[in-house]
Amino acid sequence: LYPQGFFCFALAFCGLILAACWRYTHSTEVEDSMMDVYDFVFEEVRRNTSSFRIHELTAIHEAFLCCGKHSPFGDTTDVQNETCPPDQVHDEGQDCLREIQDFLKKHMDFVFSLLGIAIGLTVYGMFLTSFLWFSIHFSSNLYRKGKYILR
């Protein structure tokens, strides 16, 4: 039973190390993908007013508490008036690309710290299961014979 526990901890350790390495080497890939999706949806709404994309853009604005973006390709006030919540239409500092980037950086740092804690716990678990297995397997004094008297 104890070698299986060690093996499970070792598998979890390998998976967590792979996740941490991916997070370290591809740190901006998730942020870039999210900002590309926002750019795509925003430009779709700006080019033609499809009701499906308008609902998507409105949901993004409500989720990230932001409003529109600064675009060199044209005026964005029509799109912002249609899709932004009423209290954020006139906020100029609420660029969604910056808000999405800040949100994801903060949460990805939190995920990376959780990965570190989980790696530490799996190493601790591997150490404890191996110690327990060795102490039981090589112990000859496990079954003590005799009587104990409390005085």
pLDDT tens figures, 88-143: 655 554 688 888 888 888 888 898 899 999 999 999 999 998 888 887 777 655 55
Distance CA 25, CA 104 (A): 16
- pTM (two decimals): 0.65
pLDDT tens figures, 39-85: 888 888 888 766 788 888 888 888 888 887 776 655 666 666 677 77
Distance CA 138, CA 78 (A): 77
Cβ atoms 67, 86 nearer than 8 A: no
